[in-house]
Amino acid sequence: MSDRRRVVVTGMGAITPVGLDVTATWKSVTSGVSGVGPITLFDAGDYRTQIAAEVSDWDPSAHFDAKELRRLDRFSEFFIVAARQAIAHAGLEFTTDEDLASRAGVMVGAGFGGMGAFIEEITTLVERGPDRVSPTGVPRIIPNMAAGLVSIEHNLTGPVSCVVTACSASANAIGDAAEIIRRGAADVMVAGGAEASITTFGIATFAQARAMSTRNDDPQGASRPFDADRDGFVMGEGGGVLILESLEHARARGAEIYAEVTGYGMSADAYHITLPKPGGTGAAKAMKAALEDARLDPSDIGYINAHGTSTPANDSTETAAIKIAMGDAAYGIPVSSTKSMTGHILGGAGAVEAIIAIEAMRHGVLPPTINYTTPDPECDLDYVPNEAREAEMRHVMSNSFGFGGHNATLIFSAL
């Protein structure tokens, strides 16, 4: 529709394994810094996988008092702080502007929500009985609570919701939030996602599924998307948040604009509970839908931040999908997976990677895929191997695919 409202990005915040804000994260990913190391959040000595990309130097007491922390899971901590960063970056103050707050909302994406809190409460129930379970157990666990807490803190009374679509969740949250603004239901949306699943159960169940790398003796070399020797993903944690506004609203208040959300595509593989559809047709459909939404040709895309998990099936399938969606342009588009450095943040990955894609466009720098040493004949695109590269781009794409066959693609453009 020609009269749809345009949506822009005016603020960003991030907590990742390679930085506690956007600036630090961007510096790390363009420098090829890996955030992967031995697991310290619990004793993983008996686990097949003993490595992960943890958010190091995280001190929740610097952001929350003791009473607040008793009510928060780690994933909510990440989302709330990333939201604070993004709101401050956008120069917004909701609590003193009732009209603005009434036209502002929150959309969070998460795969699991409070997995750590769930494990704690179940352990308490089994070991100490029902009378010792915390009355705040449910609010700590449910994934929508991160959005609810941000809305409460900032007095946001517009649309507030949660998307749970596995590893595409926060990409869906951003896309859905943009649609809310497009249709006029809000002027501002705080949108993104978070995850904190480096837990006993999280590591054990993915390891049992043979989905995770077991390069325990080489943590920083374990996440190697598109490389022929990849053996599984490395779990990460953290969160990312974008401030989305209608273009009119942003201009009216003189906001700095970092990108425009021009394309959003979704599709389903309708194939398998965990495996991507062979041949990449499902993922390609989401990319094509995003291109159509953005009214762009494949050759307009200057960079793709790939889902690129470092699993054998995902990387070859995504490569095939890019070829289908981009046609003859595929071999000329740089593609990289920053999961090689951040690990896979699951439900929070889409938001963090959207931010990285926007920063790539803003700074004219392509972040690399590190640990790329042995080419895979099935993965034959330009993956920006090992070192960042300067490049001009006006349109960037970010892919996110999740268990259950969920596919989401976002396109951001320079204004």
pLDDT, one tens digit per residue, over 316-366 is 999 999 999 999 999 999 999 999 999 999 999 999 999 999 999 999 999
DSSP H helices, 105-246, are: 115-128, 137-141, 145-154, 169-182, 200-208
Does residue 188 sit in the same domain as residue 285?
no
Q: Does residue 257 form part of some domain?
A: no
Q: Does residue 311 form part of some domain?
A: yes
**Alpha-carbon gap, residue 158 to 185, rounded angstroms:** 8
**Alpha-carbon gap, residue 185 to 278, rounded angstroms:** 38
How confident is the model at residue 4, as a pLDDT?
86
How confident is the model at residue 344, as a pLDDT?
98
How confident is the model at residue 2, as a pLDDT?
54
Does residue 248 sit in the same domain as residue 329?
no
Domain that holds residue 230: 8-252
pLDDT digits (tens, 9 = 90+) for 63-120: 999 999 999 999 999 999 999 999 999 999 998 899 999 999 999 999 999 999 999 9
Does residue 33 sit in the same domain as residue 119?
yes
Does residue 188 sit in the same domain as residue 293?
no
Where does residue 61 rank: exposed (0-12), middle (13-18), buried (19+ CB within 10 A)?
A: exposed
Does residue 32 sit in the same domain as residue 59?
yes
Q: Does residue 1 form part of some domain?
A: no
Q: Cite the active site residues.
A: 167, 307, 344
Whether the predicted pLDDT of 143 surpasses 90:
yes
Does residue 360 sit in the same domain as residue 333?
yes
| pLDDT, mean of residues 248-267 | 98
How confident is the model at residue 269, as a pLDDT?
97
**Alpha-carbon gap, residue 143 to 307, rounded angstroms:** 22
Q: DSSP secondary-structure letter at 276?
A: P
How confident is the model at residue 349, as a pLDDT?
98
Within 10 Å of residue 285's Cβ, how many Cβ atoms? 21
Q: Does residue 258 form part of some domain?
A: no
Does residue 243 sit in the same domain as residue 267?
no
Within 10 Å of residue 43's Cβ, how many Cβ atoms? 10
How confident is the model at residue 95, as a pLDDT?
87
Degrees to nearest 5, angle at CA 128 with 126 and 131: 105
CATH number of the structural domain spanning residue 100? 3.40.47.10
**Single residue among 223, 252, 281 that ends a domain in this structure:** 252
**N-terminal to C-terminal alpha carbon distance within the chain:** 19
**Single residue among 202, 221, 252 that ends a domain in this structure:** 252
Whether the predicted pLDDT of 53 surpasses 90:
yes
- CA-based nearest residue to 265, from 348, 168, 337: 168
State the total domains in the chain. 2
Does residue 270 sit in the same domain as residue 245?
no
Does residue 362 sit in the same domain as residue 275?
yes
Does residue 160 sit in the same domain as residue 273?
no
Average pLDDT, the chain: 97
**Alpha-carbon gap, residue 347 to 345, rounded angstroms:** 6
Does residue 209 sit in the same domain as residue 285?
no
Q: Are strands 51-52 and 37-38 parallel, antiparallel or unpaired?
A: antiparallel
Whether the predicted pLDDT of 1 surpasses 80:
no
Q: Does residue 145 form part of some domain?
A: yes
DSSP H helices, 55-114, are: 66-69, 74-90, 98-102
Q: Does residue 327 form part of some domain?
A: yes
pLDDT digits (tens, 9 = 90+) for 376-397: 999 999 999 999 999 999 999 9
Where does residue 414 rank: exposed (0-12), middle (13-18), buried (19+ CB within 10 A)?
A: middle
Q: Are 310 and 225 in contact (CB under 8 A)?
A: yes
pTM of the model: 0.97
Q: Does residue 41 form part of some domain?
A: yes
How confident is the model at residue 102, as a pLDDT?
97
Instruction: Identify the bridge partners of residue 294 per DSSP, sorted by sequence position.
Output: none
Does residue 198 sit in the same domain as residue 339?
no
Q: Does residue 220 form part of some domain?
A: yes
Whether the predicted pLDDT of 148 surpasses 50:
yes
Whether the predicted pLDDT of 215 surpasses 50:
yes
Whether the predicted pLDDT of 3 surpasses 80:
no
**Single residue among 228, 252, 276 that ends a domain in this structure:** 252
How confident is the model at residue 312, as a pLDDT?
96
Helix, strand and coil in the chain, % to nearest 5: 40, 20, 40
| pLDDT, mean of residues 43-68 | 97
